Amino acid sequence: MNLISHNSQQPNRWLIMMMFFVFPCCFVNAQKTSMVSIFNGRDLQGWTKYLQSQGVDKDPQGVITVENKAIHVSGQDFGYIATNKIYRDFHLSLEFKWGEKKFPPREKDKRDAGICFCVDSAANKIWPRSAECQIQEGDVGDLWLIGGVKAFVDGVQVGPKDYAQMKKKKDAEYKNGKWNRVEVIFEKGKFSFLVNGVLVNQGEDLSIKSGRILLQSEGAEVFYRKIKIKTL
């Protein structure tokens, strides 16, 4: 009786051992592949282009183009590209690098761009209601709240104003000419900005919860690549 019971349990033991070894491997593999590219490196499929002087998806001067698997923004006109898809809770990662050119009215100012998220999809304009992870020389990781958005940083309310700023806590950006990795993590009103793997800013209770993701053209040449996201 005991022998029969012992033998009958052998398959179960083998099954448990297989689960122990196989499922962790599957989990690790899932973790590695959970980020999904939202820029295919060939064209702007899945994105909408907006330029202040031209409107939606009109770009006769080639202000925003694709080259060498990167989005090349000349900066000649203020505008952006925005995802067609709406995102709520997400982890966004991308790389950017400054070019050489600058244009009026910012030809004598710092090179400037940005990642806006939870972007209002109701209208295209400069700039739509959103939260922004600043990309600007010396200021990568600053928070901007646009169009009456508010949040709390270190227990202090920021906004609502037309434009409200909270400076980053650390400086982690590389010198011009190098690729920088920027991450925006947003979940249930809490947000964190990482620059080259370093946490530089964070807050909570953001008053907007979902929207498009937008990459700015703001008077300076900039390149964006390896744009990936995973939903949380």
Tens place of pLDDT for every residue, the chain, 232 residues?
333 344 444 445 554 444 444 444 433 343 444 899 999 999 999 999 999 999 999 999 999 999 999 999 999 999 999 999 999 999 999 999 999 999 999 999 999 999 999 999 888 999 999 999 999 999 999 999 999 999 999 999 999 999 999 999 999 999 898 999 999 999 999 999 999 999 999 999 999 999 999 999 999 999 999 999 999 9
**CATH 3.40.50.2300 corresponds to the domain 38-231:** no
Entry pTM:
0.85
CA-based torsion, 202, 140, 119, 227: positive or negative: negative
Residue extents of the structural domains in the chain: 2-32, 38-231
- Bridge partners, 170 (sequence order): none
**Residue type at 167?**
K
User: 155-161: long-range contacts (C-beta < 8 A, 24 or more apart)?
Assistant: 158/203, 159/207, 160/207
Q: How far is Cα 213 from Cα 116, in angstroms, rounded to an integer?
A: 6
